[in-house]
Structure 1
């Protein structure tokens, strides 16, 4: 894993929100966030009091956003930080091992706006991570159907020049263990690499089964990050 790759992805949320996905976010030169129905993530230009004040201004009293950081966030006036957990960032570096278990699986299909309600329903059942009504606007989404019902999907989330995140990988419980997730990831990886971009993804450090799958599919850990939830503190506090 090259140092340049790690440095490029280190600020992936900020970079995405100030370049290829700026139209899906809001904010200024100090703090930016995705629109509420797109994704819960936000980022700061730098961890300064001014940047935190700018983030505070983007939040409604009952709203929270998620931030990725290299270290635990420091206490912040007027903002309450809650540690969610550790995330591994994994990047595709190797040829996948021979895939198995997907024989007889349904064909992979392209998903679009017309499929949004079904995608939201599958996410509600499987809980792969944050997913909103406009999340599919972040990139390409694919899936599988059985008897007309959506049973599996995966898609692209954060996008910066040269790199695309694979996310929302989920499979209906009745179809798990049949290799569907691996097949969808391989299809997305192939599409991303044909565009001469590199796939990456995020996974909680305690999700050992998912990490093992991603390693078999040719991904390796390039960084470990702290995922925190930030919201406004109780009324009366001051910022900075």
Structure 2
């Protein structure tokens, strides 16, 4: 399995300048996803004034710069919007995997463009984090349907070389406690590993339930990260 671990230190940049280039805009070393795909922006880990200026030109005056886990601090005239402590977790290379079967009445399905309205409705109710109308184009998204209704989902987001991030893991409030999220995460792990890639994910420290779930499924803590967002001048 070819998975240089250094590339997940700046996963947004590695994705936007590589496999996700078609989903983004770039100016110099600054890049950002297209509207509706993601709010994430990318800069080198040690950007200079010209890099920040290029990003400001991409986003426009008062634009939202979601810097994800990039530790770089912008110029003082950029207004902070949020700061959130979290962690990056990785699937250990070679760890055995056993995906449990779905419970009776629950069907695991691949999600596509026709499912976007339901995906957005689920995100609005379950609040897994940033998810736009085109986020599902970034990779495979799986869902659980019960009596035809979408009650859980999870999918692939960032794609640095040799790695795939699992994201948008969520379950409708009325369907929690039945293991849907865990099954979907492991199903994605299985697909990612079968491609010769390695799964990783990000989670807020405050979301102790999600942290416990990922640890129970087999993910290891890799690094502490701080998620930050700013407004351009």
**TM more than 0.5:** yes
Please state whether the residue corresponding to 1:178 is helix, strand or coil. Answer: coil
Return 5+ residue gaps in structure 1 as ranges.
234-240
- Listed one character per residue, the Cα deviations across residues 41-66 of structure 1 (whole Å, up to 9, x for unaligned) are 00112421111001111113343121
Secondary structure in 2 aligned to 1:160?
coil
Q: TM-score, normalised by structure 2?
A: 0.91
Where does 1:106-121 land on structure 2 (aligned, <5 Å)?
A: 106-121=106-121
Cα-to-partner distance string for 1:6-27 (whole Å, 9 max, x where unaligned):
x221011101000100000101
Shift in alpha-carbon separation, 1:182–1:90, aligned structure 2, 3 A: same
**How far did residue 170 of structure 1 move?**
0.7
- Quote the residue 1:206 is aligned against: 206
Q: Structure 1 residue 176: deviation in Å?
A: 0.2
Query: Which structure 2 residue ranges, 5 or more long, are not aligned?
Result: none
Q: 1:231 to 1:180 in 2, by over 3 A?
A: same
- Distance of 2:97 and 2:193 partners within structure 1: 13
Residue 208 of structure 1 deviates from its aligned partner by 1.2
Q: Does 1:144 align with 2:123?
A: no
- Give the Cα–Cα distance (whole angstroms) in 2 for the partners of residues 115 and 98 of structure 1: 24
Q: Is the 8 A contact 1:27 1:33 kept in 2?
A: yes
CA deviation map 1:77-131 (0-9, x unaligned): 432234421120100114468969x532512101000101110110011110000
Return the alpha-carbon distance in structure 1 between the equivalents of residues 27 and 218 of structure 2.
37
- Report what 2:164 is aligned to: 164
Cα 1:122/1:69, change in 2 over 3 Å: closer
Please list every run of at least 4 consecutive aligned residues from structure 1 whose deviation after the TM superposition is greater than 3 angstroms. Answer: 68-71, 94-100
What SS class does the counterpart of residue 122 from structure 1 fall into? helix
Partner Cα distance (2:157, 2:65) in 1? 16
Match of 1:175 in 2: 175
User: In 2 relative to 1, CA 197–128 (structure 1 residues): closer, same or farther, beyond 3 Å?
Assistant: same
Match of 1:237 in 2: none
- Provide closer, same or farther for how the CA distance between residues 30 and 145 of structure 1 changes in structure 2, counting only shifts above 3 A: same
State the shift of 1:70 in Å. Answer: 5.9
The alignment of Structure 1 onto Structure 2 pairs a total of residues equal to 228
Contact 1:75 1:81 in 2 (8 A): no
Shift in CA distance, 106/148, structure 1 to aligned 2, threshold 3 Å: same
For 2:40 and 2:86, locate their aligned partners in 1 and report how far apart those are by CA, in whole Å. Answer: 14
Correspondence for 1:194: 194
Q: Does 1:88 align with 2:87?
A: yes
Alignment of 1:90-105 (within 5 A): 90-93=89-92, 94-95=95-96, 103-104=103-104
Counterpart-to-counterpart distance in 1, 2:69 and 2:166:
20
Superposed, 1:3-42 pairs within 5 Å as: 5=5, 7-42=6-41
RMSD: 2.0
